[in-house]
Amino acid sequence: MPHKRKGSPYWWASFVERGKRIRRSTGTPDLNEAKALEAKWRAQAYREQHWEVKPPRTFEEVMLEYLRDSAHLRSIETLKMQTTILRRFFGGRDVGELTGQDIKSYTRWRREAGRANATINRELAALSSAINHCNKEWEWGLPNPVKGRMLKEPHHRERYLTRAEVGRLVTEARKLRHGDLLADFIELAVHTGCRRGSCWDWSGPG
Protein backbone atom coordinates (compact mmCIF):
# COMPACT_ATOMS: atom_id res chain seq x y z
CA MET A 1 0.00 0.00 0.00
CA PRO A 2 1.49 3.39 -1.00
CA HIS A 3 2.37 5.72 1.86
CA LYS A 4 3.23 9.39 2.34
CA ARG A 5 6.55 10.77 3.53
CA LYS A 6 6.91 13.92 5.55
CA GLY A 7 7.63 16.90 3.33
CA SER A 8 6.73 15.10 0.09
CA PRO A 9 3.47 15.69 -1.84
CA TYR A 10 3.87 12.32 -3.59
CA TRP A 11 2.89 8.79 -2.62
CA TRP A 12 5.70 6.31 -2.08
CA ALA A 13 5.61 2.64 -3.06
CA SER A 14 7.19 -0.24 -1.15
CA PHE A 15 7.93 -3.68 -2.59
CA VAL A 16 10.54 -6.43 -2.56
CA GLU A 17 12.94 -6.84 -5.49
CA ARG A 18 15.58 -9.60 -5.45
CA GLY A 19 15.11 -9.99 -1.70
CA LYS A 20 15.68 -6.29 -1.09
CA ARG A 21 13.06 -3.89 0.21
CA ILE A 22 12.61 -1.07 -2.30
CA ARG A 23 10.99 2.24 -1.43
CA ARG A 24 10.41 4.48 -4.41
CA SER A 25 8.54 7.70 -5.03
CA THR A 26 5.69 7.27 -7.49
CA GLY A 27 5.98 10.91 -8.52
CA THR A 28 2.22 11.40 -8.23
CA PRO A 29 -0.05 12.88 -5.53
CA ASP A 30 -2.96 10.73 -6.81
CA LEU A 31 -3.49 7.63 -4.64
CA ASN A 32 -5.08 5.51 -7.39
CA GLU A 33 -2.20 6.22 -9.78
CA ALA A 34 0.25 5.39 -7.00
CA LYS A 35 -1.49 2.06 -6.33
CA ALA A 36 -1.32 1.19 -10.04
CA LEU A 37 2.39 2.00 -10.21
CA GLU A 38 3.16 -0.01 -7.09
CA ALA A 39 1.28 -3.01 -8.50
CA LYS A 40 3.19 -2.70 -11.78
CA TRP A 41 6.57 -2.58 -10.03
CA ARG A 42 5.70 -5.56 -7.84
CA ALA A 43 4.67 -7.59 -10.88
CA GLN A 44 7.86 -6.68 -12.74
CA ALA A 45 10.00 -7.60 -9.73
CA TYR A 46 8.20 -10.96 -9.42
CA ARG A 47 8.64 -11.84 -13.10
CA GLU A 48 12.29 -10.84 -13.06
CA GLN A 49 13.05 -12.89 -9.94
CA HIS A 50 11.01 -16.03 -10.60
CA TRP A 51 10.79 -16.20 -14.38
CA GLU A 52 14.09 -14.46 -15.17
CA VAL A 53 12.19 -12.09 -17.40
CA LYS A 54 14.00 -8.78 -17.72
CA PRO A 55 11.38 -6.07 -18.29
CA PRO A 56 12.00 -3.49 -21.00
CA ARG A 57 12.99 -0.06 -19.69
CA THR A 58 11.65 2.65 -21.95
CA PHE A 59 13.32 6.01 -22.45
CA GLU A 60 10.46 7.67 -20.57
CA GLU A 61 10.79 5.31 -17.60
CA VAL A 62 14.55 5.84 -17.31
CA MET A 63 14.37 9.63 -17.60
CA LEU A 64 11.41 9.88 -15.22
CA GLU A 65 13.30 8.00 -12.51
CA TYR A 66 16.28 10.30 -12.99
CA LEU A 67 14.16 13.46 -12.99
CA ARG A 68 12.38 12.41 -9.80
CA ASP A 69 15.65 11.92 -7.97
CA SER A 70 17.16 15.10 -9.42
CA ALA A 71 14.31 17.42 -8.48
CA HIS A 72 16.49 19.13 -5.85
CA LEU A 73 19.20 20.14 -8.32
CA ARG A 74 19.56 23.76 -9.42
CA SER A 75 19.93 22.53 -12.99
CA ILE A 76 16.60 20.66 -13.00
CA GLU A 77 14.95 23.00 -15.52
CA THR A 78 17.86 22.55 -17.93
CA LEU A 79 17.60 18.78 -17.44
CA LYS A 80 13.88 18.91 -18.25
CA MET A 81 14.55 20.80 -21.48
CA GLN A 82 17.24 18.31 -22.47
CA THR A 83 14.85 15.44 -21.75
CA THR A 84 12.21 17.02 -24.00
CA ILE A 85 14.69 17.22 -26.87
CA LEU A 86 15.99 13.70 -26.32
CA ARG A 87 12.45 12.34 -26.24
CA ARG A 88 11.77 13.63 -29.76
CA PHE A 89 14.32 11.11 -30.97
CA PHE A 90 14.33 8.31 -28.38
CA GLY A 91 10.72 8.45 -27.19
CA GLY A 92 9.15 5.00 -26.70
CA ARG A 93 12.44 3.17 -27.28
CA ASP A 94 13.68 0.38 -25.02
CA VAL A 95 16.88 1.83 -23.57
CA GLY A 96 18.31 -1.68 -23.21
CA GLU A 97 18.25 -2.03 -27.00
CA LEU A 98 19.90 1.29 -27.87
CA THR A 99 23.21 0.96 -29.71
CA GLY A 100 26.13 3.16 -30.63
CA GLN A 101 24.54 3.60 -34.05
CA ASP A 102 21.49 5.14 -32.41
CA ILE A 103 23.74 7.66 -30.66
CA LYS A 104 25.47 8.48 -33.94
CA SER A 105 22.09 9.00 -35.59
CA TYR A 106 21.03 11.33 -32.80
CA THR A 107 24.26 13.29 -33.20
CA ARG A 108 23.65 13.63 -36.94
CA TRP A 109 20.06 14.73 -36.34
CA ARG A 110 21.13 17.47 -33.94
CA ARG A 111 23.95 18.65 -36.18
CA GLU A 112 21.52 18.98 -39.06
CA ALA A 113 19.50 21.23 -36.76
CA GLY A 114 22.57 23.45 -36.41
CA ARG A 115 23.51 22.49 -32.87
CA ALA A 116 27.12 22.70 -31.69
CA ASN A 117 29.06 19.71 -30.39
CA ALA A 118 29.01 21.16 -26.88
CA THR A 119 25.21 21.33 -26.88
CA ILE A 120 24.87 17.80 -28.22
CA ASN A 121 27.31 16.53 -25.61
CA ARG A 122 25.28 18.08 -22.77
CA GLU A 123 22.13 16.36 -24.05
CA LEU A 124 23.84 12.99 -24.40
CA ALA A 125 25.41 13.44 -20.96
CA ALA A 126 21.89 13.76 -19.52
CA LEU A 127 20.89 10.44 -21.08
CA SER A 128 24.10 8.78 -19.92
CA SER A 129 23.64 10.07 -16.35
CA ALA A 130 20.06 8.79 -16.29
CA ILE A 131 21.16 5.31 -17.37
CA ASN A 132 23.96 5.23 -14.80
CA HIS A 133 21.57 6.43 -12.10
CA CYS A 134 19.04 3.68 -12.79
CA ASN A 135 21.79 1.06 -12.85
CA LYS A 136 23.16 2.25 -9.53
CA GLU A 137 19.91 2.88 -7.67
CA TRP A 138 17.68 0.16 -9.15
CA GLU A 139 20.23 -2.33 -10.52
CA TRP A 140 18.59 -2.43 -13.94
CA GLY A 141 21.80 -3.51 -15.68
CA LEU A 142 21.26 -1.32 -18.73
CA PRO A 143 24.07 -0.92 -21.28
CA ASN A 144 25.23 2.67 -21.77
CA PRO A 145 25.63 3.33 -25.52
CA VAL A 146 26.71 6.93 -24.86
CA LYS A 147 29.96 5.86 -23.21
CA GLY A 148 32.97 6.67 -25.39
CA ARG A 149 30.87 8.48 -28.01
CA MET A 150 31.00 12.10 -26.86
CA LEU A 151 31.97 14.62 -29.53
CA LYS A 152 35.15 16.67 -29.59
CA GLU A 153 34.75 20.27 -28.43
CA PRO A 154 36.92 23.35 -29.03
CA HIS A 155 39.50 23.95 -26.32
CA HIS A 156 38.22 27.49 -25.87
CA ARG A 157 34.81 29.10 -25.62
CA GLU A 158 34.07 32.44 -27.24
CA ARG A 159 32.82 35.11 -24.89
CA TYR A 160 31.47 38.53 -25.81
CA LEU A 161 31.70 41.61 -23.65
CA THR A 162 28.50 43.10 -22.31
CA ARG A 163 27.68 46.78 -22.93
CA ALA A 164 28.52 47.54 -19.32
CA GLU A 165 31.91 45.84 -19.65
CA VAL A 166 32.68 47.76 -22.83
CA GLY A 167 31.73 51.01 -21.10
CA ARG A 168 34.08 50.31 -18.20
CA LEU A 169 36.88 49.32 -20.57
CA VAL A 170 36.53 52.58 -22.53
CA THR A 171 36.43 54.61 -19.31
CA GLU A 172 39.61 53.02 -18.02
CA ALA A 173 41.29 53.46 -21.40
CA ARG A 174 40.67 57.21 -21.38
CA LYS A 175 42.57 57.49 -18.09
CA LEU A 176 45.78 56.38 -19.78
CA ARG A 177 48.28 58.49 -21.74
CA HIS A 178 46.91 58.87 -25.28
CA GLY A 179 43.84 57.17 -23.84
CA ASP A 180 41.38 58.91 -26.17
CA LEU A 181 43.00 57.20 -29.14
CA LEU A 182 42.87 53.81 -27.41
CA ALA A 183 39.25 54.36 -26.37
CA ASP A 184 38.29 55.24 -29.95
CA PHE A 185 40.12 52.14 -31.16
CA ILE A 186 38.14 49.96 -28.72
CA GLU A 187 34.81 51.49 -29.74
CA LEU A 188 35.65 51.02 -33.42
CA ALA A 189 36.41 47.33 -32.85
CA VAL A 190 33.23 46.82 -30.83
CA HIS A 191 30.90 48.56 -33.26
CA THR A 192 32.37 47.10 -36.45
CA GLY A 193 33.46 43.67 -35.24
CA CYS A 194 36.77 44.14 -37.05
CA ARG A 195 39.95 42.42 -35.96
CA ARG A 196 42.99 44.43 -34.88
CA GLY A 197 44.64 44.50 -38.30
CA SER A 198 41.45 45.61 -40.01
CA CYS A 199 40.98 48.39 -37.48
CA TRP A 200 44.46 49.74 -38.23
CA ASP A 201 43.62 49.79 -41.94
CA TRP A 202 40.23 51.43 -41.41
CA SER A 203 39.82 54.59 -43.47
CA GLY A 204 36.15 55.19 -42.87
CA PRO A 205 33.10 54.62 -45.10
CA GLY A 206 33.19 55.45 -48.74
- Taking the C-alpha atoms of residue 185 and residue 180, their distance in angstroms, rounded to an integer, is 9
Residue-wise pLDDT tens digits, 93-128: 999 999 999 999 999 999 999 999 999 999 999 999
- Taking the C-alpha atoms of residue 102 and residue 107, their distance in angstroms, rounded to an integer, is 9
Tell me the C-alpha to C-alpha distance, in Å, between residue 79 and each of 41, 152, 199.
25, 21, 43
Q: Which residues pair with 156 in a beta bridge?
A: none
Residue-wise pLDDT tens digits, 7-47: 777 888 887 766 677 777 777 888 888 888 788 878 777 77
Which pLDDT belongs to residue 157? 67
Classified by CATH at the fold level, domain 59-138 comes out as DNA polymerase; domain 1 (1.10.150)
Which pLDDT belongs to residue 136? 93
DSSP 178: T
Predicted TM-score (pTM) of this structure: 0.57
Q: Which residues pair with 23 in a beta bridge?
A: 14
> Which ranges in the chain are annotated with CATH 1.10.150?
59-138
Mean pLDDT, residues 135-160 = 87
Which pLDDT belongs to residue 196? 65
AA letter at 130: A
